[in-house]
Amino acid sequence: MKLQKTIQTKIIRPTNIKREKLEREYSNFQGILKMQDVDFLPLYKDIKLYSATKQQVERLAKRTKPKKEQPLIIRKDCIKVKKTDNKLSKYWVRVPVYNKSIWVAINFSNKQQDLLNYESSESKLIKGKKDWFLNITVQKEQELKTNYTDTLSIDLGVKNIASVVQYSNKKTKFYGKDIRETRGHYFHLRGKLARKKIRGFYKKIKNNKEKRITKDQVHKTAKDIIDWAKNTNSAIVIGDLKGIRKNGARKKNNKNYKGKKFNRKLNSMPNYQLSQFIEYKANWEGISVIKVNEAYTSQLCWKCGNEGVRKTQGLFWCPECKEEENADRNGSINICKRGLGYMSKLGAVLAQPVTEAEDIKKSASFCGSECDLRISRF
Ligand SMILES: [Zn+2]
């Protein structure tokens, strides 16, 4: 599969001449986009724009009628990144503009440096309030591994954003404390500001800041899980939120309605974001992600498959085994068992102890035919 990642860079201290050239290129690009309804071809020929960019914008203008300004699209073969000893910046990019291309210095996160080794794809020039930004997209061809020694299963939840269990030894890790703390902090802060009646002003700023912090924490969570999968050569099984979003599980009168808790889970951004980050980061490392329908995974006992009861919100109790289990952990192991039943369909082989073979058999009957499997690869 072909995978892409974007390096977000800022153009630093362009000279006035370069700034003008960027400005002209950008506004001419927007100009052509706006011309779509008029018979623009005769006029279009006179517009000063880099030839390859002109082709890009022509295609875009035919396809969409954007209301807002669009980033200027630079064709993949027209951009070039160079490493230098320059004092201003180690990295310079050649940006194609009309007549003669210009070299500009860029700044970006050190973590993204390795990405420059990959083939570049379409890039985008974005005009900010004060600065110019360049999003350079790179791509690589990645085959997914087919041999695994273990499985990590992920239950996405409200309290614990992710409850992850390693199947062979049932090692469990609960994620989400940091995200809960961020949410709590801003919830408290908004309440305080609301009481002082300065809400409108602060709401916007603080919300954005909260989103930014949360996103960063979600990234870290995903990275930690992927590192774990890498170190243990595990495939990943995760509940499929997308399928649930579509099948009416959120509507009260629908037969698929899963309850209030479910709705809250779907509506809370971090869960969906996390599942997307995990899938992408895993595939980037060649790790398969198996998505399974998570219906009933929280109600049934992972050991015997019988329906259990909730002693408290977080505690699952099986009347058959007479044992207590953390509810999220129980759900996570069930998700894993459901995923195991599908590993062979994916072409993946899981080397595992013989005793676990029984589990796979059970899981096949346990998930029945309604199991909705979507593998990221297909
Ligand atoms: Zn049981």
pLDDT in tens, 306-364: 999 988 888 999 999 999 999 999 999 999 999 988 777 666 677 654 344 445 444 44
pLDDT, greater one: 242 or 230 = 230
320: CA distance to ligand 1 center in Å? 5
Contact residues for 330 (Cβ-Cβ < 8 A; gap 6+): 298, 301, 302, 308, 316
Evaluate if residue 123 carries a pLDDT over 90: yes
Burial (CB < 10 A; 0-12, 13-18, 19+), residue 251, is: exposed
Task: Provide the pLDDT for residue 357.
Answer: 42
Amino acid at 149: T
Evaluate if residue 225 carries a pLDDT over 90: yes
182: CA distance to ligand 1 center in Å? 36
299: CA distance to ligand 1 center in Å? 11
The Cα 43–Cα 117 span in angstroms is 40
316: CA distance to ligand 1 center in Å? 10
pLDDT in tens, 168-213: 999 999 999 999 898 888 888 877 777 776 655 555 555 678 888 9
pLDDT in tens, 25-70: 999 998 888 775 655 556 667 788 898 888 888 888 877 777 888 9
294: CA distance to ligand 1 center in Å? 18
* C-alpha angle 376-360-289 in degrees, rounded to nearest 5: 15
Q: Name which of 333, 274, 281, 275 is nearest 153 in CA terms.
A: 333
State both tokens at 139.
């791509």
- Provide mean pLDDT across the span 245-265: 59
State both tokens at 279.
């899938």
324: CA distance to ligand 1 center in Å? 9
DSSP 71-121: PEEE-GGG-EEEE---SS-SEEEEEP-SSS-EEEEEE--GGGGGGGGSEEE
197: CA distance to ligand 1 center in Å? 53
Main-chain dihedrals φ then ψ at residue 92, nearest 5 degrees = -125, 145
161: CA distance to ligand 1 center in Å? 25
Task: Provide the pLDDT for residue 100.
Answer: 85
250: CA distance to ligand 1 center in Å? 29
376: CA distance to ligand 1 center in Å? 32
156: CA distance to ligand 1 center in Å? 22
Query: How sure is the predictor about 377, in pLDDT bands with cuts at 50, 70 and 90?
Result: very low
287: CA distance to ligand 1 center in Å? 31
Ion ligand 1 neighbours (CB, 5 A) are: 301, 303-304, 318, 320-321
The Cα 211–Cα 179 span in angstroms is 10
- Provide mean pLDDT across the span 90-114: 92
